Structure 1
Amino acid sequence: MKKFIPYFCIFYFISFYTKAQVSDTSKTNNPFAEARYHYFLKTVILFNEYLDTDNGSYNTTQLRLLYPIGNKAWNLRFDVPLISANTNSVNKTGIGDIGAGISYIPFIKNNNGLAIRARVISNSAQDPNFGSGKWVFIPTVFYARYLKTKKFLWISSLEYQASFAGQSDRSDINITAYENVVLYFFGRNWISADTAFRYNNTVKGFQNNAFLEYGRKISADDLIYIHPSYAFGGEKTYNFGLEIGILVLF
């Protein structure tokens, strides 16, 4: 069975612009002040992702907390995944690898910005099939820019995933990922298209994917989104997927 690697979700600082809750830094129509990529509000995200693989399916229900700190140029992130597997070798449900991260925006202007993030994924899965068996360090750099008008936002990211501890009988993690997403905003809605190229240096192959997304603000503090995804590359970890999520601002 191919080793399952959870889908990478980029820079999920998601919400809409609310002047009463943000610092002066956010009052400049910056790249992170739109749906899906807001940086300054406390956010709870609950999403469910279904992945079809050659060996069965994986379903991940994940709780994510985003919490700005200090002058709100800093942001904390916590992830707790609940994974259900229906494959030839395992049919059960359990907690996956829990993760935590911290992000910082060192540069931001009216139409572009730069952010950096560091995450650690723990070796905490209840079952070996629900995690990598390794502790993983993930540094990421993001660049965001509006394209022509404030209705189009482009975000590009470069990420490196490296294991540094864990079970000796599990494969090391050594992955480089380059990702680009373009979002279009209209009214209370957004749509986006994303392509991510990932090279896994352990298996010497590409594990790429692309997705389309539609999202909508359904109340002052709640947003929903849906996106189907498709994997491609010689060492892809799944065939196709579907993710549905809800975001609650507080």
Structure 2
Amino acid sequence: MKKLLLYFSILFLISSTAKAQDEDISRVDSPFSEPRYHYFLQTILLYNEYLDTDNGSFNTTNLRVLQPIGNKAWNLRFDLPLISTNSNSINQTGLGDIAAGISYIPYFKKNDGIGLRTRVVSNSAVDPSFGSGKWVVIPAFIFAKYFKQKQFLWISTVEHSQSFAGSSNRNDVSVTLFENNLLWFFGKNWLATDVAFRYNYFLDGFQNNAFMEFGRKITPTNLVYVHPSVAFGGEKSYNFGVEVGLLVLF
């Protein structure tokens, strides 16, 4: 809880001392307007993620909607996951934990910027194996910067997940994430590498993962991508996975 309060204090201080532009910023040329992670346009993301684990496989089909509000420095996010499990004992499909969040861009320039985000994941899964059994709050700090005449984009994220309510029979959630994503743009395509270090305080171990991603603009506002991933660390939650997604920008 002390860690959570510290993160909230840091985010509050940053948001109090930095301000985004008051005018409509949807056309601002900044790292946060890059189509792969666009904060200023309405976005629909539909992706399917397959994860292989020691106890079988998990398949998540997720619908994510991002809706800018106000002067578009603010952004609402909603996630609706449908999860399928496949193991030696049981195969089943159902709704996972529904999540909602809000992002704010307090500072940006043409080559760099700072973002703040808070998400709440509800305890709404229809089956215990489809969710954490907890209500979880996830504050995050995001830094983005262009390099080499905007040929490369670096996005760094510090995030903490902390449960605050839910089933007393389930383990508490307390995980800190430090993630770095580097994207290389060429023509209508991009190639990305990402390494995420996650420390699980309850398990007292790391649940890290890394992925490579290839994406392409198929129209000016429609993008597709695929990225394989691999997990590493003493308490990794899966072995390997692959995600395929479609983004639609409005």
- Give CA deviations for 1:170-192 in whole Å, capped at 9, x if unaligned: 00000000000000111111110
| CA distance in 2: counterparts of 1:90 and 1:215, whole angstroms | 35
Displacement over 2 Å in runs of 4+: 23-29
Say whether 1:238 aligns with 2:244: no
Equivalent position of 2:105 in the other structure: 105
Q: Which amino acid aligns with 2:114?
A: L
SS at match of 1:230: strand
> What are the Cα deviations for residues 151-176 of structure 1, in whole angstroms up to 9, with x where unaligned?
10001000000000000000000000
* Count of residues in Structure 1 that have an aligned counterpart in Structure 2: 228
User: Which secondary structure does the structure 1 equivalent of 2:236 belong to?
Assistant: coil
**Cα distance in structure 2, aligned partners of 1:113 and 1:52:** 36
Q: Give the Cα separation in 1 of the matches to 2:96 and 2:27.
A: 38
Instruction: Determine if the alignment matches structure 1 residue 198 to structure 2 residue 198.
Output: yes
Q: Give the conservation status (yes or no) of the 8 Å contact 1:112–1:143.
A: yes
Q: Which residue is equivalent to 2:189?
A: 189
Corresponding residue of 2:62: 62
- TM-score, normalization by structure 2: 0.89
CA RMSD of aligned residues (A): 1.1
2:25, 2:40 within 8 Å by CA — same for their partners in 1?
Answer: no
Instruction: Report the Cα distance in structure 2 between the residues aligned to 1:218 and 1:114, rounded to whole angstroms.
Output: 29
1:17-56 counterparts in 2 under 5 A? Answer: 25-56=25-56
> Letter of the aligned partner of 1:193 in structure 2?
T
* Corresponding residue of 1:19: none
Q: How far off is 1:110 after superposition?
A: 1.3
| 1:108-127 equivalence runs, <5 A | 108-127=108-127
Cα distance in structure 2, aligned partners of 1:186 and 1:77: 28
Q: Distance in 2 between matches of 1:84 and 1:150?
A: 39
Query: Does the C-alpha gap of structure 1 residues 89 and 162 become closer, same or farther in structure 2, counting only changes over 3 Å?
Result: farther
Q: Distance in 2 between matches of 1:234 and 1:38?
A: 34
SS of equivalent to 1:32:
helix
- SS at the partner of 2:25? helix
Instruction: Give the CA deviation at 1:34.
Output: 1.8
What's the CA shift for 1:89? 4.4
Contact 1:35 1:190 in 2 (8 A): no
Offset at 1:33?
Answer: 2.0
Q: Sequence identity, in percent?
A: 64
Judge conservation of contact 2:26–2:41 (CA < 8 Å) in 1: no
Alpha carbons of 1:74 and 1:28: their partners in 2 closer, same or farther (altered >3 Å)? closer
